[in-house]
Amino acid sequence: MERLGVTETFAGVSLPGHLHTQESLAFAATFTFRPTDVVIATYPKSGTTWMQEILTLLFSHGDALPAKTIPNWERAPWLEQIYCRAALPDAAPRRLLTTHLPARVLAPALRQGKAKVIYVARNPKDVAVSFYHFHHLAKFLPDPGSFDTFLTQFLEGTVHYGSWFDHIKGWLGQQQLLDIFYVTYEELHQDLCGTAQRLAAFLGCPLGPETLGALEQHCSFAAMRDNTMANYTLIPSEIMDHSQGRFMRKGVVGDWRDHFSPQQNSTFNRRYQEEMGDVELPTRWPMA
Ligand code: A3P
């Protein structure tokens, strides 16, 4: 398939050439946002797909039809990917967009357009594990090598999509500048309904008990794992080798404990402290 081995570099970050070109990246960086736009911003493997599903159900007032009939990449197009320009519903009253780009690239345009942003973060140890497994099925990402090799690159920020530390610090730094809502993967796990209510309040979107019930049902891991419009099984096997694993892999908190050696854990903790020691986070992840 096209450009599977190509890497694009943009704003110092490596990105898969299968999904991005310099033109598509420039399109994202200069995008004209509207105050009615809602943008999901994440580092990969942080709960992006989950948030796309939650917002789909929220905006449809609990009607599961869009979630069951339209692929998530059409419901919430990826701003920086090649297909976005053609996929964007220009006349839509409310556009839902998704991005993995760093804040320093998008923040000026978001500020200008007064769009709303939802930033989803996840314990970076679980992000690293999930991202490692994802490299095995995604043919547009490089061979990750051993978990140890991958983890070193993750901590150095040389993996595709760049440094997790830079990503979260960049978006956290926008708190006073953007209309932004921070949420963690772990909060979604702990209290999906409560988090959906807070999201609804942020978005000014009514949320009755029936919508909440439908959201709870359709956004569960089991429902999403079996929903072809959310689980990426529609992507051909030349691009995602489904024999190598599932996009909807485990969906749990703390899977890193089954992957990290004591040595890897202490290296990670040291680096985490160096990078995040002074940073105010919406939640503290259990790192021990
Ligand atoms: P795991 O690989 O740990 O299972 P993203 O959408 O940002 O790429 O994140 C993918 C991760 O979110 C995967 O993690 C996936 O299983 C998890 N995920 C997606 N939907 C979920 C849900 N409804 N509940 C729990 N985890 C979910």
Note the pLDDT of residue 1. 53
Q: Does the pLDDT at position 137 exceed 80? A: yes
Q: What is the pTM of this model?
A: 0.98
In a domain, 203, yes or no: yes
Query: What does the pLDDT read at residue 284?
Result: 85
**Is residue 59 assigned to a domain?**
yes
Which residues form the domain of 67? 7-276
The predicted structure's pLDDT at residue 93: 84
Rounded mean pLDDT, 237-251? 97
Give the 3-state secondary structure of residue 42.
Answer: strand
Ligand 1 centroid distance, CA of 134 (Å): 11
On whether residue 179 sits in a domain, the answer given is: yes
Q: Catalytic residue numbers?
A: 100
Instruction: Tell me if 163 is assigned to some domain.
Output: yes
Would you say residue 281 lies in a domain? no
pLDDT > 90? residue 250: yes
Query: Rounded mean pLDDT of 185-199?
Result: 97
* pLDDT, tens digit (0-9, with 9 covering 90-100), for 150-167: 999 999 999 999 999 999
Q: Is residue 283 situated within a structural domain? A: no
Residue 130's nearest CA partner among 155, 150, 101 is 150
Chain-centroid distance of CA 1 in Å reads 24
3-class secondary structure for 79-129?
CCCCCHHHHCCCCCCCCEEEECCCHHHHHHHHHHHCCEEEEEECCHHHHHH
Number of independent structural domains in the chain: 1
| 98 CA distance to ligand 1 middle (Å) | 15
Give the mean pLDDT of the chain: 96
Measured CA to CA in angstroms, residue 18 lies from 12, 30, 141, 267 at distances of 18, 21, 9, 33
- Domain membership flag for residue 287: no
For ligand 1, residues with CB inside 6 Å are 42, 44-50, 126, 130, 133, 219-221, 224, 248-251, 255
Instruction: Fill in the amino acid letter for 191.
Output: D
Task: State residue 2's pLDDT score.
Answer: 86
Mutate to test the pocket of ligand 1, among 46, 50, 75, 228 (most ligand atoms within 8 A of CB): 50
The band of 287, judged by pLDDT with boundaries at 50, 70 and 90, is: confident
Model pLDDT for residues 193-235, shown as the tens digit of each residue: 999 999 999 999 999 999 999 999 999 999 999 999 999 999 9
C-alpha span between 166 and 175 (Å, rounded):
15
Residue 119's CATH number: 3.40.50.300
The answer as to whether 206 is a domain residue is yes
